[in-house]
Amino acid sequence: MTIGFQPTEFARAVLEALQPARLFPARLRFGGADSIVPVHDVRGVTVIGLGKAAQPQVAATRALLRESLGEAIELPRSLAITKRGHGTASPACALLEASHPLCDESSLAAGAALRARVAATPADHLLVLCLSGGGSALAVAPRAPFDLHVKRAVNAALLEGGADIATTNRLRQEMSAIKNGGLLLDVGARRVLTLVTVDVPSEDLALVASGPSTWREREAGAIASDAHRCLPPPLAARFDQALASPSREFWQARLREAAARTEHHLHAVGDWETLSSVARDALRAQGIHHVEVMTRPLDASLESGTASILERIERLARGPRPAALLSGGELTVEVSGSGRGGRNSAFVLHLARALFHERRGALDDATLDRALVLSLATDGGDGNSDAAGGHVTRAVVGDSREAREALVSALARSDTATWLAQRRCAFPSTPSGTNLMDLRVVVLWS
């Protein structure tokens, strides 16, 4: 039985509304001292983008500057560093593409280019850094005793083990000369404004792209604990070596000094509130006016996050229909096979099994027949797959022994995107121009 909801149309509407050209004008205003971003006391503005949405964010920022200030201010050519296939070069913006999610030689080159461009920014310019998810891998500068090989090994272990974003970023920052405010050491401008598209389930904007323009003191003991908890012993030993080195305290002192001498601010141009508002509007456009939103983005394991959502679904089912539940954030998934998939496809199958096969939501058959589960990677890519998540109903999942075995097998092999694609329920992977964490939706139709 089908329900009156078009998931592909919903995903398209959400991603279109999140485009920087539409999002930024409501959240930025360049001008005099009373503006959101005062630029009355600078000769020019240098705009640099880092992350999967770098190129469209740079373009949107430049357009707002010209609209607000015309030719009254110097606006040199920008630089955008993004994932391969996610950008388009233009006369106004140089483009560098690098590797994601694992860094490589192109990421080293991008890190060097970023540092050089930041250093070349005149002191009387405002440096605007547009940050979006993915920046941690796209531009790297390993700090001894770490090198590119070790960074790749650490990142791979963290991805495969399903480490949470805060732990991942702390370990990434310890290995880097760019992250955790390291970029401030290279800054030539006296003022830095970082525009952040929040793709992580946290209110700490400095977690995005591991905070290249924001310094936070990191306690060595906590980092060592993270390393030994999440990494194989040989990699954890590298952190022990780094944390015990006298050069670490000297490095922290340099970061502290750079943060003190540079006027730097963080400004969110998109977060969970933004994403949930856009998603609510897209649901209402399809006739779903009763929408419940999980206020805080989830930062939990797949099993724990699913349990929280199931609890809310039971409450949702007792209210008016049609209805929808929205949740955001990231659910950590431990890779258990060599298949294709990511957080979003894994969640869809995991919740589908809980609802339709295990009946963990305590919903009656009529409700289950009119339910839909959806998860969308707003950056346009889900893990190592060629999908951006997907959607299922009870009819798609099926309830035969063969259907149950196929779903369990896909989860066990981490091949959830293949399962969705075979049933034509995967969202196509495409550079979306934005990155505002994962969006999960459960629809209960009347």
pLDDT in tens, 137-174: 999 999 989 999 999 999 999 988 888 888 988 999 99
CA 63 from chain centre, in angstroms, equals 24
Q: Provide the percentage of residues in the chain whose pLDDT is more than 90.
A: 80
What crossing angle do the helices spanning 343-352 and 401-412 adopt, rounded to 10°? 150
DSSP per-residue letters across 109-158? HHHHHHHHHHHTS-TTEEEEEEE-TTHHHHS--B-TT--HHHHHHHHHHH
How do 44-50 and 78-83 pair as beta strands?
Answer: parallel
Mean pLDDT across 416-442 = 94
3-class DSSP assignment, residue 360: coil
Other C-beta atoms closer than 10 Å to the C-beta of 19 total 16
Q: Which amino acid is present at 213?
A: S
pTM, entire model: 0.91
Q: Do domains 32-270 and 272-444 have the same CATH topology?
A: no
Name the residue with tokens 């640099």.
48
What is the spatial order of strands in the sheet that 78-83 belongs to? 93-98, 78-83, 44-50, 125-131, 191-197, 263-270
d(CA 406, CA 394): 14
Omega prior to 101 cis, within 30 of 0: yes
Mean pLDDT across 181-189 = 95
Q: Which amino acid is present at 144?
A: A
Indicate the range of 156-165, 244-253, 322-331, 346-355 predicted with least confidence: 156-165
Q: Which two tokens stand for residue 391?
A: 């959607």
The architecture (CATH level 2) of 272-444 comes to 3-Layer(aba) Sandwich (3.40)
Q: Give the start-to-end residue ranges of the domains of the chain.
A: 32-270, 272-444
Q: Which two tokens stand for residue 144?
A: 């001894």
The answer as to CATH 3.40.50.10180 being correct for domain 32-270 is yes
Q: Which amino acid is present at 408?
A: V
Mean pLDDT across 92-107 = 94
Express each pLDDT in 325-342 by its tens digit: 999 998 989 888 889 999
Contacts for 42 with CB less than 8 Å, ≥ 6 apart? 73, 124, 125, 126, 191
d(CA 230, CA 157): 8
- Sign of the C-alpha dihedral, residues 193, 196, 201, 203? positive
Q: Between 200 and 49, name the one with better pLDDT.
A: 49
Q: How much is the mean pLDDT over the chain?
A: 93
Confidence of residue 1 (pLDDT cuts 50, 70, 90): very low
Burial class (CB in 10 A: 0-12, 13-18, 19+), 76: middle
pLDDT in the model for residue 108: 96
